[in-house]
Amino acid sequence: MAPLDGKWTKILIIGGTGNFGKHVVDASIHANHPTFVLTRPPAADDTDKKDLLQYFVSLGVELIFGSIHDYEILLEAVKKVDVIISALGHEPAQLEGQAKILKAIMEAGNIKRFIPSEFGTDAERVDPVEPAKTAFMMKAQIRQMTRKYGIPHTIICSNFFQTFFLPRLGQAEVSPPIQGKVSIIGDGDTQGKPIY
């Protein structure tokens, strides 16, 4: 992102310690943006997360301990920045929590751009079945709320992340690595069709 008003854009990344979010944090800081990460404090036994947070601090990232469910902390974090990137996961509670981010954006009144957690298939151009249907519905609702409130935003649809699906062999509800049985739908020769 280019500098705003002659200053580098201040970026808040929510979900910055996740599979995808950690790369967004790294890219933001290496592009010289003042970077903030809203994160829950690591558990005492979570050495991987502690190491990642120490790495972020060594790069100059400002950590804000809290979550999207700690509204006062979220609001204070939003007031410090120009842009918010949500890299929250696909769990329903996290996707629904983006409504709190929108509320904080509206209350703070200073955000120049919001990038909601999408990073997958276009939620408004698919007709999925469960378990994906619920997640897509929530993503579409966040888009609709963002438009309704007039929040400047960018939607990024990058298609599927194979680091999520390959270890599960396409079975999103299963924790990797797959052991034992694998379900293959159809004969394996079905061709995909463009949706637009």
Enumerate the active-site residues: 139
Question: Alpha-carbon torsion 43, 46, 49, 51, what sign?
Answer: positive
The helices-and-strands tally (H runs, E runs) of the chain is 6, 5
DSSP string covering 124-174: TS----TTHHHHHHHHHHHHHHHHHHT--B--------HHHHGGGTT-TTS
Contact (Cβ atoms closer than 8 angstroms) between residue 112 and residue 119: no
Rounded Cα gap, residues 122 and 140, in angstroms: 9
The count of other CB atoms within 10 Å of the CB of residue 125 is 11
Helices 92-108 and 132-149 cross at an angle (nearest 10°) of 10
Please list, in sequence order, all residues whose beta carbon lies within 8 angstroms of the beta carbon of residue 5, skipping any fewer than 6 positions away.
Answer: none
